[in-house]
Copies of this chain bind each other. A is one copy, B any other.
Amino acid sequence: MAEVRPSPPVLRVALLGCGVVGSAVARQLVEQADELAARAGARLELVGIAVRRAGRRREPGIDPALLTTDAEGLVERADVVVEVIGGIEPARGLLLRAMAAGASVVTANKALLAEDGPRLYAAADAAGVDLYFEAAVAGAIPIVRPLRDSLVGDRVERVLGVVNGTTNFVLDRMDSTGAGFEEAVQEAQSLGYAEADPTADVEGFDAAAKAAIIASLAFHTRVRAADVHREGITGVTAGDVAAARDAGAVVKLLAICERTAPTGDGDAEGGVSVRVHPAMVPREHPLAGVRGAFNAVFVEARSAGSLMFYGQGAGGEPTASAVLGDLVAVARHRVVGGRGSSESAYADLPVRPMGEAVTRYHVRLEVHDRPGVLAQVAQVFADHGASVETVRQTPLGGEPGGSAALVVATHEAPDAALAATVEALAASPAVLGVTSVLRVEGT
């Protein structure tokens, strides 16, 4: 007699959004249906795809009968809601409604998590459902789960991330071809690596949202996008990139999340610094080798030491991989019980202002080529408590007396002191111009 196996349960999956990622998710749910069912212990039935306009042409493999403009109705008849719309509203309202109705949530929405994560966590806790978001940071690269679970028995000291593929592509092109910023952005646009309006990427908004999520997980502390000091790459010049090259380094837009030393009374635990800015990274650092639109996250933990996670940070298929991994995890919980991790914000460390962050600067100046100038410049550093590590002076020639290039690398100091030093240098009569200022990380 043939063995009669019970059919696996069926979970209703609602998909919000049908762009590049949503289409890939929808397609994989069909193409890999048997594999996913075997792994999840339940069949994942796509019951609807919420879109803004029903009539638009869709990618092949999307069943038009699943499309609906009634997102609110859709989320109430799902066991799991996958959100790939992005932005704050209507995503937030839909996810809160979904969880209130008992659905678990898988989202790729970094902006929403970085803006209002605690509210989503609270809704998940109240409903006893899962809130998963691996796809929100660095696409296909597992980084949320490693921080949330793998490293939960360790003390993360620092995370340095190349988490925006567009800016990494642009800076990589500037490094390898000598192109200026505008030219590299145009190339990125023509290849589909940058949006027609690249603001969210090049001004660092995207990376700042990811930095907030990473810092929240790594330090068990609520960090919002608004808490993140943010500088984009629009001010990075071909001269900056060349200065970095001369110093054996590359320029990367880094998301930096690190613990800061205790400052004294009532601050025994110290705080955290969370920031996004361009920085020089020595070529021998593993992050320097992250080329093109790839992403990588470098983690320093007390026991684990240095770890790096590397891969594709964006794109429909890679992001769908992360979404589907979460979907299977959430489905397993539906089948066998249990829930993933809730919010962990018990440490509640203060987020320190940028001025207190301990950084190092690499400054390139043009100065008068005459005796005493180096002493004058050195005095400006000393006046601001900034200690010089190396100086290199190169005559540039020119009119009587001529000018010289002065490249100064500092020791570590509070960022405010270094920023004030640069301001004072610009105003110093010995200095003709400050031609490049970059922070240095990863040394």
Contacts and interface: CB of A to CB of B under 8 A. Distances in A.
A362 B321 CA distance: 35
A325 B140 contact: no
B301 A321 contact: yes
A355 interface: no
Interface in A102-150: 134, 140-142, 145-146, 149-150
Contacts of A321: 151, 153-154, 301, 303-304
Interface in A21-38: 24, 28, 32, 35-36, 38
Given A39-B152, A145-B145, A153-B28, A312 B304 contact: yes
Contact of A312 (B36, B141, B305): B305
Contacts of A310: 286, 307-310
A303 B332 contact: no
Copies in the complex: 2
A326 B336 CA distance: 19
A357 interface: no
Contacts of A301: 140, 321
Place the interface of chain A in its size category.
35 or more
A322 interface: yes
Contacts of A426: none
27 contacts: A32-B155, A39-B220, A39-B344, A140-B305, A142-B145, A142-B150, A142-B307, A145-B146, A146-B146, A150-B325, A151-B321, A152-B328, A153-B325, A153-B326, A153-B328, A289-B289, A301-B321, A303-B317, A303-B324, A304-B321, A305-B315, A305-B317, A307-B311, A308-B308, A336-B339, A338-B338, A338-B339
Q: Which 5 A-B residue pairings sit nearest by Cβ, starting from the closest?
A: A338-B338, A153-B324, A140-B304, A142-B150, A303-B321
